[in-house]
Amino acid sequence: MSLKFITFLCLLVLVAGCSTTSNIKKAPETYFKEGQDFYAKGNYEEAVNRWKKVKESYSSPLLTTVVELKIADAHFSSKSYIEAAAEYENFRKLHPNNEKASYALFRLGLCHYNQMTRIDTDPAPLKNATTAFETFLKEYPGSGLSGDVREKLELCRTRESRYEIYVGRFYLRTAQYISAITRLTGAIQKFPTSPANDEGLLYLGQAYIEVGERTKAKEALERLLKEYKSSKLADKARKLLAKTA
């Protein structure tokens, strides 16, 4: 047997050995522990990779349920809110009676809430967050998370109010006065306690002046001065009010 052939055989054995070693699968519990370690270090991508291997093992329904939520949390911690929302939503569908279902719904709302940036961006995350938090309070009124949910829901409603007023102001600035009146009136009626309503009333008064409805303009501006006495817009409201005389 030639030396070259013997060398070739040795190489084959070595490569086969390395391949076999690299393909050895770890126990699901080992992958779970590695995921925990990576998560603790802030390496969320590797944590997700390890926990996905636990899911793929199909070894334990209980462990699979645990890592499904941990995968969602890892995406949330890495600020990958779209991916996290999908995982939380999936968890709720698969485990509606799980003790962590309320937590998943809360985090789902936060995923949408945290996607809200400027007021002039897509309002879909804001509406999705509002829906999630409202659903939470209906389904889990006695939850220990209810206080946090109510706080976030109130912030969502204020943001939604400001968005509607922002759109109303756009219509006002582009001389679409009837559309402005409709949008602003709707916003004030839908969110009667919004801290942004002083702005809404000011723009509503302006819009009514532009279409010649001085009586309605006066009502809006006087309401602003009465209900928001410390508003920074009070001086502007008084100047506009003078035009309705």
For residue 123, give the 3-state DSSP assignment.
Answer: coil
For 103, the token pair is 């937590």
Per-residue CA distances from 214 to 222, 223, 242 (Å): 12, 14, 10
Domain ranges in the chain are: 163-245
pTM exceeding the 0.85 threshold for the entire prediction: no
Which of 213, 208, 214 is closest to 188 using CA atoms? 208
At 58 the pLDDT is: 77
Helical residues (DSSP H) of 114-233, grouped into ranges: 124-139, 146-173, 177-190, 197-210, 214-227
CATH architecture, domain 163-245: Alpha Horseshoe (1.25)
The tens place of each residue's pLDDT in the chain, 245 residues long, gives: 444 434 433 443 444 444 433 445 788 889 999 999 999 999 999 999 999 999 888 778 888 999 999 999 999 999 999 999 999 999 999 999 999 999 999 999 999 999 988 777 778 999 999 999 999 999 999 999 999 999 999 999 999 999 999 999 999 999 999 999 999 999 999 999 999 999 999 999 999 999 999 999 999 999 999 999 999 999 999 999 998 88
Buried b (16+ CB within 10 A) or exposed e, 127-150: ebbbebbeebeeebeebebbeebe
